[in-house]
Structure 1
Amino acid sequence: MGSSRFSSAAQGAVSRRRLLAGGLALSAAAALPGCKSRMSGLLTGADAHPADYPTVKAVEFMGQYLAERTGGRLGIKVYAGGQLGSETDTLEITSFGGLDLNRVNFAPLNSVEPMTLPFSLPFVFESVPHMRRVVDSEVGEEVLAAMEPHGLIGLCIYDSGARSFYNTRRAIRTPDDMAGLKLRVPASDLYVAMINALGANAVPIPFGEVYQSLAQGVIDGAENNWPSFVSARHYEVATYQSLTEHLLTPEALVMSKISWDRLSPEDQDLVREAARLSVGEMRRLWDLRVTEAKATIAASSVAVNEVEKEPFAALMRPVWEQFITTPQQKSVVERILAMREG
């Protein structure tokens, strides 16, 4: 296994909590009912999203497919809802072999592998169909393959929709409206740079703390996709939603290389096939979830406004230049832009 590029904070915190989480994943899998001959093929997975979320259901679909194809010899048990820690925690546990599978947003992958950064750039994707074309192409395969030196096998890429801003104070129509707002972001240098470049103040806090922070005025707002805005009930306290759609950052399903190497070549092919098929199921469920979330917001007291995106996108060029520094990264960005419809 190659050297890891986890951030210094992550490297310095192989904490008891992470080790405990890794142990929980293994012990919980061992405790599941079934005969011992089937336990060796029960893969454990983690997802920070709730149990009914499309990514969780997609991985469960993948597990069902594996079970059907192998007569129950292979399967997947997903620990959803952040049971085993944050995405950063579980990502590191996965690289060490404490978990077999992990659904993770590209943001925490940015500090692990620089080739994931182009997919996280603000306004690099012009629409959901554009993003899907890119991740389904050889560009997506190239980015997934770049994770292997870090102990992670990239299996497939899921959606996380278009992210927009919502806040408790005012509608955002121009970048000037961002001034002074305290906006929550994930723990990502790129997200922080994006918010600061727009004139707001980035506040990195865990997703699970956003509702209370909004309600107590610790932050003024956040940014996320339609389903998360609804499922986390943020719309109950943040009554302004502005459709900037600044990010369409996808999410990855990765597997521990340690676990991967234990599989036979035939089982590896089967796992890849199951992952590929799970993408269609995830997208079907995701599109339904977006439609439902939009209907919920339409029936709520949230004031939703459209946004002219170009003034926001123009402020992102310095951010692109800050994070896209290698010829390989620049090539990925150029190929992404070349796949736009316009």
Structure 2
Amino acid sequence: MNKKLIINLSLALLLVLTFSVSSMAAEYTINAGIGLNDKSAQYESLEFFKELVEENSDGQIEVNLYHSSQLGDDREMMEALQMGVQEMTCPSTAPIAPFVNGFKVFDLPFLFPTHEAADYVLDGPVGQDLLKQLEDEGLVGLAFWENGYRQLTNSRNAVESPEDVEGLKVRTMENPMHLAAWREMGANPTPMAFGELFSAMQQGVVDGQENPWGTIYLQNFYEVQEYTTDTGHVYSPFVLMMSKKFYDKLPGDLQQVVRDAAQEAKHHNRRINREMNAAYLEDLKEVMTVTILTPEQKAAFQEAVQPVYEQFEDEIGAELIKDVQAQVEEFQAQQ
């Protein structure tokens, strides 16, 4: 066989392969971005979602995943969804509040006594109504996933009571309710970008911070923090959301594929997030002084922050706060 024939056959084969690949290419592409890294339960849950969507859509939808704020921070990605230049993200509720005011309710301290109580409210009429309100902002709320309970770390002393927090410089998000809660507990809250936090703790600019166990462990905060306490002062959900512009382009059967996958991945996310956080806590016990509060000790923190509810009642909406509290009480009565 001469060289020219071999080249022609090779080119023909290449064209056939190119056509075959292009003919199998997905009709729709979902670019999903998050802020956490690829070791997080959130990213693993997105991988689970990707598998479900691609399989159940028979390859009509392709899902590309981006972690570690590769596509921007939470607000930037939400705005990209509104413009239709990104398809999916999964922010915590705090950055959503400027878009839908009701999401501020989740920043109230000690709102949910247990994971299960949070599930009950988020999957019930109150939570689902908040997801529905996102549509007016060009966003489709698919499901509440989980970030988790925020816990306190510091480099000064063990914390067993609000008195032990007195004067601690605690890094927080730039969130009025979080700031108010820490002031009521006696701390000196200091808003700061997350990317600056490790060096700030290392240099003593702040004494401590508050985040879920997974973040504390995966970000190696134990290298610059000696003490941690299971304050569980705020339960933080994630919201899996999609661009309405993109969602509306999907045929009905593929919209259902996305919605079903979001629900399956929700249960997967909550399970592995809780398992991983429990494991991270055990790991942290090996490298930090960990204080597990008794119910009586935690009640002292809850009492200290009660003025925050009254302070932000008008801003959040008294009726919404009452609805959430009523749902929590309803759940507890069933146990």
Determine whether 1:334 maps to 2:325.
Answer: yes
Question: Aligned residue for 2:152?
Answer: 165
- The DSSP-based 3-state class of the residue aligned with 1:211 is helix
Question: Aligned residue for 2:17?
Answer: none
| Cα distance in 1 between the residues matched to 2:100 and 2:117 | 23
Note if contact 2:34-2:74 (Cα within 8 Å) is conserved in structure 1: yes
- 1:214 equivalent among 185, 195, 201: 201
TM-aligned CA distance change 1:205 to 1:37, over 3 Å: farther
| Cα distance in 1 between the residues matched to 2:59 and 2:189 | 47
Measured against aligned partners, the alpha-carbon deviations of 1:282-325 in whole angstroms (never above 9, x if no partner) come to 1232123113202211221x111133111211232221223232
| Overall identity of the aligned pairs, in % | 27
Determine whether 1:79 maps to 2:66.
Answer: yes
Paired positions, count: 308
Note if contact 2:138-2:245 (Cα within 8 Å) is conserved in structure 1: yes
Question: Aligned residue for 1:278?
Answer: 265
TM-aligned CA distance change 1:36 to 1:46, over 3 Å: farther
Question: Aligned residue for 1:317?
Answer: 306
Note if contact 1:125-1:336 (Cα within 8 Å) is conserved in structure 2: no
TM-aligned CA distance change 1:148 to 1:71, over 3 Å: same
| Cα distance in 2 between the residues matched to 1:199 and 1:36 | 63
Note if contact 1:108-1:187 (Cα within 8 Å) is conserved in structure 2: no
What is the Cα deviation at residue 210 of structure 1?
A: 1.5
Note if contact 1:172-1:178 (Cα within 8 Å) is conserved in structure 2: yes
| TM-score normalised by length of structure 1 | 0.85
Measured against aligned partners, the alpha-carbon deviations of 1:239-282 in whole angstroms (never above 9, x if no partner) come to 11011111112111111111112112222122111100001211
What is the Cα deviation at residue 37 of structure 1?
A: 6.6
Structure 2 spans left out of the alignment, 5+ residues = 1-20
Note if contact 2:57-2:254 (Cα within 8 Å) is conserved in structure 1: no
What is the Cα deviation at residue 228 of structure 1?
A: 0.9
Question: Aligned residue for 1:104?
Answer: 91
Tell me which structure has the larger Cα radius of gyration.
2
| TM-score normalised by length of structure 2 | 0.86
Structure 1 stretches of 4+ with a deviation exceeding 4 A read none
- The DSSP-based 3-state class of the residue aligned with 1:251 is strand
Question: Aligned residue for 1:156?
Answer: 143
TM-aligned CA distance change 1:320 to 1:40, over 3 Å: farther
| Cα distance in 1 between the residues matched to 2:191 and 2:265 | 31
Question: Aligned residue for 1:187?
Answer: 174
Note if contact 1:162-1:247 (Cα within 8 Å) is conserved in structure 2: yes
| Cα distance in 1 between the residues matched to 2:217 and 2:31 | 28
TM-aligned CA distance change 1:233 to 1:210, over 3 Å: same
Q: Which moved more, 1:167-176 or 1:317-326?
A: 317-326
- The DSSP-based 3-state class of the residue aligned with 2:36 is coil
| Cα distance in 1 between the residues matched to 2:205 and 2:318 | 40
Note if contact 1:115-1:146 (Cα within 8 Å) is conserved in structure 2: no
Determine whether 1:305 maps to 2:294.
Answer: no
Note if contact 1:117-1:323 (Cα within 8 Å) is conserved in structure 2: no
Note if contact 1:182-1:202 (Cα within 8 Å) is conserved in structure 2: yes
Note the 1:55-74 alignment, pairs <5 A.
Answer: 55-74=42-61
Note if contact 2:88-2:240 (Cα within 8 Å) is conserved in structure 1: yes
Measured against aligned partners, the alpha-carbon deviations of 1:37-68 in whole angstroms (never above 9, x if no partner) come to 73541101111111121111212211211111
TM-aligned CA distance change 1:228 to 1:36, over 3 Å: farther
Give the superposed CA RMSD. 1.8
